[in-house]
Amino acid sequence: MKTKLCLIIGLLFIQFAAYAQTSATVSTKMSKLIDEQFNFAASQYKLLAKRTPPDRMPKTYYSKTDSLETSDTKWWTSGFFPGSLLYIYEYTHDQQLLEEAERRLNILEKEKHFTGHHDLGFMMFCSFGNAYRLTGNPSYKLTIDTAAASLATRYRPNAKIIQSWGSSANWQCPVIIDNMMNLELLYWVSDKGGEARFKEIAIQHSNSTIKNHFRPDYSSYHVVDYDINTGKVLKKPTAQGAADSSAWSRGQSWGLYGYTMMYRFTKDSTYLNQARHIASFILDSPNLPKDGIPYWDFDAPGIPNALRDASSAAIISSALLELGQYTFGKEKRRYVSTAEKMLRKLASADYRARTGENGGFILKHSVGSIPHKSEVDVPLTYADYYFLEALLRYKKWYL
- How do residues 336-357 score in pLDDT, each as one tens digit? 999 999 999 999 999 999 999 9
Q: Does the pLDDT value for residue 19 go beyond 60?
A: no
Is 143 within a domain?
A: yes
Is 2 within a domain?
A: no
Is 17 within a domain?
A: no
The CATH number covering residue 55 comes to 1.50.10.10
Is 310 within a domain?
A: yes
Was 104 annotated as part of a binding site?
no
**How many structural domains compose the chain?**
1
Was 254 annotated as part of a binding site?
yes
CB 59 within 8 A of CB 360: no
Q: Does the pLDDT value for residue 5 go beyond 80?
A: no
Was 238 annotated as part of a binding site?
yes
Query: For residue 67, what are the β-bridge partners?
Result: 62
- Judged by phi (left if over 0) then psi (alpha if -120 to 50, else beta), residue 377 lies in left
What are the residue numbers of the active site?
119, 178
259-304 pLDDT, tens digit each: 999 999 999 999 999 999 999 999 999 999 999 999 999 999 999 9
Angstrom distance (rounded) from CA 262 to CA 63: 38
Is 4 within a domain?
A: no
Q: What is the mean pLDDT of residues 24-39?
A: 92
- Contact partners, residue 193, CB within 8 Å, separation at least 6: none
Instruction: Using pLDDT thresholds of 50, 70 and 90, give the confidence band for residue 45.
Output: very high
Was 250 annotated as part of a binding site?
yes
Sheet holding 223-226, edge to edge: 173-176, 223-226, 233-235
Was 268 annotated as part of a binding site?
no
Is 19 within a domain?
A: no
Q: Does the pLDDT value for residue 18 go beyond 70?
A: no
Q: Does the pLDDT value for residue 1 go beyond 70?
A: no
Is 16 within a domain?
A: no
Angstrom distance (rounded) from CA 123 to CA 78: 6
Is 15 within a domain?
A: no
Domain of residue 114 covers 28-398
